[in-house]
Structure 1
Amino acid sequence: MKLQDKVAVVTGGTAGIGKAIAAAFLAEGARVVINGRSPEKGEKALAELGAGDRAVFCRGDVNDKDDIERLITTAVDTFGRLDILVNNAGGAARLAPVTELTDEDWDLHMKWNLYSTFYATRAALRLMLPRKWGRVINISSVEGKHGKPVITPYVTAKHAINGFTKAVAKEVGTEGITVNALCPGIIITDIVKDEGPRTAEAMGITYEQLIEMYVQDSAIKRPNTVEEVAAVAVLLASDAGAGITGAMLSIDGGTAAY
């Protein structure tokens, strides 16, 4: 039970990587607050996690600063403190070549991925610093290390998250707090299934060709799994991960060059 009685918040925790991390944390003894926009998905996720009163759902949109701050407050009000923050919510939608990309769609990717990470981290650190213990885990992407055409705003936001991670790690490194980024490769989550076909169309290829492009870029020649990402998150959240900070850890099947 590596996380016995620790309290974690996982944004976007009702499905995909976020839900897998919540499940892994619960299996290691943590108490978890998951966030999402849909109460129905939240209740379904709680039922599937099966953790009873050790898991709660807090409805909110990570594009809204007030919703994020309320999420952090919910963890304290429910479980008494906050030990671990996983900035998982994010993604890509309404993509287009740069010449066709609207201001609104650019802003969407910055708010959804980067601003949400900043707002949640700021709120969490205000609680962690006085206790001199904390773990912040930002879900970045292999595209935070490299890049592909058309998904430019997503690539930009994930690169920024990596820079944010390294800078904040330097700020709080002597205070018992670690800040790291996980960089998954392609994983067939619900959001990939939903948005992948439109992204592929914008790139001039089929959805199947999009997935195959990522698979062939990897060493393992298959998509990664949410469980593989969750296993690394458990390490970083635990006492055993105390010496790892400011890192951008790839779970991409050997895709990234660094």
Structure 2
Amino acid sequence: MSLKYDFTGKVALITGSSSGIGAATAQLFAKSGANVVVTGRNADAVAKVAKQCSVVSPKQLPALEVVGDLTNDEDCNRLIETTVQTFGKIDILVNNAGAGIMAPIDATDYMEKFSLALKTNLNSVVYMTHKCVPYLAKTRGNIINISSIASKKSGSTGSSPYCMSKAGINMFTKCMAAELGPKRIRVNAILPGAVDTNFMTIFDLPKDLIGQIYSNIGQKYPVGRVGQSQDIAYTVAYLASDSEAGFITGSIVVADGGDIVANVSYE
């Protein structure tokens, strides 16, 4: 019997929810009865996921579509304001938006890439949290930040911008769990391992080669496969559930198929 969650009456705002982990998370919340906010930079992708959310919603609740770039503070403000104007509150914030920005330290554009990695992967999490706290305090809501096992492993050449931005999320999560506890806001983070999403497209590789890479990695994982977006979505739902995880805050939850314990190499 599969575990079913009930988020009826809850409002879940999931950043970067137009594809991959974010899209799967939005659909799971919708399927569990929540009012869902779908957001991303591509209007067509946002609309597609929003429609899928409405289809799986028990009451066919329409998902709120907000197109924007979370590296832009004005877009962040509009996202939050539109959510509150539409639903009147925010119960769950999933900071999922991010990008695999890489550069070797001796690259001429390293500082530019490093700055962009921080702005995209870390600063957006900090800003969204900062702006959502007043609303989450009213609902005694919770925050789930999507980090990466790259924050725990020494990365390969060129990965420092990405790894450091994700490591920052881990510490921010711990700090916020302690600081926001008196407001009864729980804050946790998830560290996915390799998940079969469009992440690998940053390397501009053929689709069949990407599939082979994921297959090779999966063979090294103790569970025998790489992750699927739904694997992480269910972890998000667990942490967001007050009935199931109401005593959990400040946790850095590893969901990596055994990547770290098996010391899997991607070389």
TM-score, L = length of structure 1: 0.89
Change beyond 3 A, Cα 1:217–1:64? farther
* Alignment deviations for residues 45-67 of structure 1 (CA, whole Å, 9 cap, x no partner): 12222244441110110111111
Is the Cα–Cα contact under 8 Å of residues 51 and 63 in structure 2 kept in the other structure? no
Match of 1:10 among 11, 14, 29: 14
* Alignment deviations for residues 86-125 of structure 1 (CA, whole Å, 9 cap, x no partner): 00000213x2211115221111110110001001111111
* Alignment deviations for residues 219-258 of structure 1 (CA, whole Å, 9 cap, x no partner): 1231111111111111111112111111111110012249
Alignment of 1:99 with 2:103, yes or no, is no
Deviates more, 1:78-87 or 1:41-50: 41-50
Superposed displacement of residue 188, structure 1: 1.5
Highest relative contact order (Cα 8 Å, sep 6+), 1 or 2?
1
1:213 and 1:147 map into 2 onto residues whose CA distance is 20
Hey, what does 1:233 align to over in structure 2? 236
Q: Quote the sequence identity (%).
A: 35
2:204 and 2:150 map into 1 onto residues whose CA distance is 18
1:86 and 1:195 map into 2 onto residues whose CA distance is 23
Superposed displacement of residue 218, structure 1: 2.6
What CA RMSD, in Å, does the superposition of the two structures yield over aligned residues?
A: 2.1
Alignment of 1:144 with 2:151, yes or no, is yes
Is the Cα–Cα contact under 8 Å of residues 197 and 207 in structure 1 kept in the other structure? no
* Alignment deviations for residues 187-244 of structure 1 (CA, whole Å, 9 cap, x no partner): 121232x11446xxxxxxx857854674355312311111111111111111121111
Is the Cα–Cα contact under 8 Å of residues 147 and 191 in structure 2 kept in the other structure? yes
Specify the code of the residue in structure 1 equivalent to 2:230: E
Hey, what does 1:156 align to over in structure 2? 164
2:237 and 2:181 map into 1 onto residues whose CA distance is 19
Matched residue count: 249
Is the Cα–Cα contact under 8 Å of residues 103 and 161 in structure 2 kept in the other structure? no
Hey, what does 1:202 align to over in structure 2? none
Hey, what does 1:179 align to over in structure 2? 187
Specify the code of the residue in structure 2 equivalent to 1:230: A
Hey, what does 1:70 align to over in structure 2? 78
Superposed displacement of residue 175, structure 1: 2.1
Query: What secondary structure sits across from 1:234 in the alignment?
Result: helix
Structure (1 or 2) with the greater helix fraction: 1
Please list every run of at least 4 consecutive aligned residues from structure 1 whose deviation after the TM superposition is greater than 3 angstroms: 51-54, 206-217
Hey, what does 1:201 align to over in structure 2? none
Query: What secondary structure sits across from 2:131 in the alignment?
Result: helix
Query: What secondary structure sits across from 1:137 in the alignment?
Result: strand
Superposed displacement of residue 145, structure 1: 1.5
Specify the code of the residue in structure 2 equivalent to 1:148: G
Change beyond 3 A, Cα 1:179–1:217? farther
Superposed displacement of residue 132, structure 1: 5.4
Alignment of 1:25 with 2:33, yes or no, is no
Change beyond 3 A, Cα 1:210–1:163? farther
Deviates more, 1:230-239 or 1:44-53: 44-53
Runs of 5+ unmatched residues, structure 2? 263-267
Alignment of 1:121 with 2:125, yes or no, is no
Change beyond 3 A, Cα 1:161–1:184? same
Runs of 5+ unmatched residues, structure 1? 199-205
Specify the code of the residue in structure 2 equivalent to 1:79: F
Change beyond 3 A, Cα 1:47–1:90? same
Is the Cα–Cα contact under 8 Å of residues 132 and 175 in structure 1 kept in the other structure? no
Superposed displacement of residue 69, structure 1: 1.6
